[in-house]
Structure 1
Amino acid sequence: MKKVGIFYSFRSVKTHQQVKKMIKLLGADNCEEVDADVATLEDFKKHDNYIFAVPTWFDGELPNYWDEYLPTIEDESFKGKKFAIFGGGDQKNYPENFVDGVGIMAEFIEGRGGKVVGFTSTKGYSYEGSRAERGDQFCGLALDIENQAALSNERIEKWITDIQKEFSKKK
């Protein structure tokens, strides 16, 4: 498996905690952490496999750092690249747009020819709507640290196992 570029904001404490767990499962030698707050086009071009951490802010918005970074890569072809997306959301306080950021990012990636991997079941969540929902799956890993923190480790472990297989497959 080629080195995975893990893009997230180094300032996001909860996201950083989740990323640390993922790196441990993937193996530190297999990962490169990239701060989405200051990432460049060159940081993006170095990888074929990505994990994007995309929390949902407010009423279903991308965090500012993603809004600022996406124009940097929007003209690139994502063909032949694989992306696994995870994000935090709050299904009790924001049930109408739970983990929308994951869905927004998946739409951006797919619109440029990238392949989104790591779909997960919507079972076990209680929400009204989500842009990340595709049938009975999310187009990434949905984490609700506020309401279901006890389930996060198990969800992360299963998701990492699944995306490792996807990242290892030939194109």
Structure 2
Amino acid sequence: MTGDPEAAIVTVLGSCVAACIRDPAIGVGGLNHFMLPESKDGVWGKASASLRYGNFAMERLINDILSRGGKRARLEVKLFGGGRLAQQSGGVGERNAAYVEAYLRTEGIVPLVSEMGRNWAVRLIYLPVSGRAFLQDLPEGTSRVSDVEARFERALPRRMPVGTIDLFS
């Protein structure tokens, strides 16, 4: 998150979602990039890794803007990612997109832009102070992005809820 008018945030998205959020009145904004919709405890290695989950990433970015004097009613939101990559199973991109849309509805925030659900990876450049966003399609990089996302998904902790039985893991 920044208030620096020269700052640009760049990320590459496949099934992940990036929410670009700013308060134009105070010139502060940022971008989150989450890999999975939600987690109850946010456990995924290090403490900052919890921001890989939508529920933690959305709360953190909005609260950081509000703590700098932002107002919820002025928040401008642009959504990107949530791709349907061919090599993927489980519809992670669709689940991420559905999560962020439901989250914003619950918060009473209507996104200005929603560019989600492409069949390839994209590069996003976001200028938080001006709110400008640039999207570049990366169809040739989609398989590489998908491979990286699959490695992260395999690294997730696999905790079984108490009282459940896993016969074929």
- The TM-score normalised by the length of structure 1 is 0.36
Indicate the structure with greater strand content: 2
Indicate the structure with greater helix content: 1
- The TM-score normalised by the length of structure 2 is 0.36
Greater Rg over alpha carbons, structure: 2
